[in-house]
Chain A
Amino acid sequence: MSAPTTPPPRVALVTGGSRGIGRAVALAFARNGADVAFSYRREPAAADETASAIRGLGRRVFYRASDAADATDAARFVEEAASELGRLDVVVPNAGIAPDTGWEEVAPETWTHLLSTLLVGPYATVRAATPHLRVSGGSVVLVASIAGFSAYPEELPYAAAKAGVISLARSLALALAPQVRVNAVAPGWVRTGMTRELYDDPRSRTAIERSTPRGRWGEPEDVAAAVIFLASDGARFITGETLVVDGGESLGWRVGRLR
């Protein structure tokens, strides 16, 4: 009894889809023939531009501002997207922020805000999408980070939340099996608005190039390709996985040789 092949996704939902990785994911789905729903937080100009790029690819788009930290609105956004575009085949909770909070003086409000945005929001999005995904036999691709398993005291709550996202992928994969697959990608250093300051400073830019075995920063399209693959029929026996997309950053010691 082998699994029936699944047709390519017809409707994809991406949170934080106006810029950066989310934008690349949204456009990649559109290029592959899917209509796209995406949310953003507060920059309508970028959102309008992404929406017209999706339309330019001949696909329908539904988008509006919806703060991932507001679980109620995150769920409402999913419902609106499903009714507007008729169904949901793939959900990519991607919205995120990565402030340099350090570890010493992280106020409880900071914790609450980051965990709400990075962990509760994605959970609320997937939870609301579940009935639609069960109908379509769709899948979820969460956006974690290598910060979820390597040490990043500079942004301790972010790293802890991303560890939580990897955990979400595993628990939700079991909870939603066998109808819905749930996976994650864990990117390393990707050139987006989130990392612009580090990229613009030649010192940190080259330090990161050197610390990445592949010798370059990631581009949003590198991550989008992995998301598209995990959501495709080719990945139909993959669930609960976190696919690391980091140019080898998290592998181990790369300074010289151990002799």
Chain B
Amino acid sequence: MCDTCFSLENEWFTASGLGRVHSWTVCHHAFHRGFASLAPYVLLTVDLAEGVRMVAPMVVPDACRLAIGLPVILDYQDRHDDITVPRFRIHGEDDADG
């Protein structure tokens, strides 16, 4: 439900994938064994252009380059045949796959 007008109507649309860094953490300790081989990994909290926030890893885990407001863009990684995960890369950079 919309928390402004309380409408129950909704529809799917394709988001731009553009956003800006709101905050982040560098996960050195994996609390789930599925992420152990990825640690340390950077989790970004991103303000999407469409107005919600989203959490996803950073393609190249380089926290030194992060700042609040840094533009990022979403892409996707096919991790297995049936699993695709969202990730963010710094906007305007064609990062090598992390």
Q: Do A and B bind each other?
A: no
User: Interface of B with A (CB < 8 Å)?
Assistant: none
User: Interface of A with B (CB < 8 Å)?
Assistant: none
